Structure 1
Amino acid sequence: MTEPLLDVRDLRTAIPTEDGDVHAVNGVSFTVEPGKVLGVVGESGSGKSVTMLTLMGLTRRAGAQVSGEVLFGGRDLVTASDRELQRIRGNEIAMIFQDPLSSLHPFYRVGAQITEGIRAHRDVTKKQARARAIELLGLVGIPKPEQRVDDYPHEFSGGMRQRVMIAMALANDPKLLIADEPTTALDVTVQAQILALLERLQQELGMAVVMITHDLGVVAEIADDIVVMYAGRVVEQAPVEQLFRQPRHPYTWGLLRSIPRLDLPRDVDLVPIEGRPPSLIHLTGRCSFQPRCPYVGGCCGEQDPTLDAVAGNEQHRVRCDMPEERRARVWDALSAGRSPSEAAAAVGITSAEEDAA
């Protein structure tokens, strides 16, 4: 069996604030296989980006308290020195950040910014680095790269700036590419182009990719596996086909219900998830999604559920106390276009008190 390229084990990150420690990452575990695409999905504030920043050592400046293991090529990045992480960042692990305009320096030409990253990790001349920058700009689909290499970031459109960021991330042939909301603020057609580009590059270069997004629809076509995060924890993880065919966590149902579907009547509305994510300062020790969950019943325990296999399937794991047979029936009702309240009533879910009685 192939060893995972990245193996994250019980990662925890607490960031101190004036109001108390924010437990942004609270016991996260997952693996990324070589050459595979992992989608990490959840609302803003669920801990997706902080998890990736932590494994790259970028939360150390924030004074974060970090524990757990992040094994990359046999090395634990949690205990690695700053110098070791500097050699890895931008070289073996690269990241595409959310907003390319704020990530690119407005005073420097894009070619100079790409060559800087190349020369930081490779012993090459300025001429060789410039040739590599032109090659990369052409690789990501920027026309006339030998001319555009000398342009400033403001001379590119939003989609082209994102392509520049992808070129910069690929400069040193990383083994792992982390894409943090790479299609944010782009129109639908440009989003599709960027996703198609990432998929093509991943297949051509054979690198592993972690795709961070709040939209399950974004990763539906390109991901091999999906991790769903909520309130700093993994609430469900599965191969992409299994998660879309038989999702098992109420939060995942909520995310899926917010995606437009062509197979439902036009009068079926998208259903938002009511309420707001909880404070990560004052954690209750119970299921974090319980205050927003339409399916709370007597089966819900006093402690946060563990991440357990679904019906003996170790690849599909879920953090929910609802019995498996009931979960399956709820999803069948939701798939048929029923509202959350109708789906709950259809399987006899009323309130915690009534269900317990």
Structure 2
Amino acid sequence: MIISLGHLMMISSLNSYTWNNFNCAYTIHQSEGTTENDLALVLIHPIGVGLSGVFWHRFAETWFKSGQQYTLYNPDLLGCGKSDMPPVCYYPEDWAKQLKYFIETVVKKSVILVVQGALFPVAIRLIQNPPQPNYIKGLALSGPPAWRIMTEPAKPVQQKLLWNLLFNSPVGLGNAFYRYARRRQFLQSFSVRQLFEKSEMVDDEWLDFLQKGATNLNSRYAVFSFLAGFWRQDYSEAIKSIHQPTLVVFGEKASSISKEGKIESPDERLELYLKYLPNGQACKISGRNVMPYESPDEFVSVLANFVKNNQFF
């Protein structure tokens, strides 16, 4: 697919690879005439009803429209988008292993991980078990969870109860809940209340791709794994050991869905991440929790400066 960006063209190609006998999809975004270089960006999309790599399309268009040349690799995580959707519970370690294989066998060059929201634990596990050679040279985090959420593990008993009694219930409670959650009215209400600063940004384009992405009911397993809290662990020591340059970007109206996270203001959250990241940089831009989609121009600007001002080779 070729998208016109004024005097530029963005070329996007959908591809796939096999990992653990599953078909995994990914899209490569390139600018027309881009020359091959030794650095690429790997985009890690959020988990939620209907979400997949499509989340990054506005960012990708803005990235190349601004004149950036680095190629974007945009994988669909297992259970999402056009990748296979086995009916299992997913842990950050599972997606990290998928991405490790993806970087080793498909990308095969130095990368900056660009991570949306609560998928930061996936990047952490990937850094702890990196691709060989270690291609991960930097991270850019868009709206990571409140610090308290990242350092207080969920209770395993509660996780199992949620999964077994609600989400994977033999009486179909999870199925019914997912059918309700993928309704356009619910998606719009949730997006306005929890994700976007400006309600008008919750437009037809956003709602259309969420509804389309949730058409396959098996997409619920990735979402339920997230809601059950299988990603909730104490990552404090792991974060302290991240030596790569790390950019943390928060929305000026950043909020948290969980009760624990609501006690942190955006400034407090920013300061805590800077305190514990050995090589961290942080800033705030307009928006709330999904800046690559809501504020793509500002997000691209701060990310491009981060790439330009650090040595990643």
TM-score w.r.t. length of structure 2: 0.31
Q: Specify which structure has the higher proportion of helix.
A: 2
Higher relative contact order (CA 8 A, sep 6+): 2
TM-score w.r.t. length of structure 1: 0.28
CA radius of gyration, larger in: 1
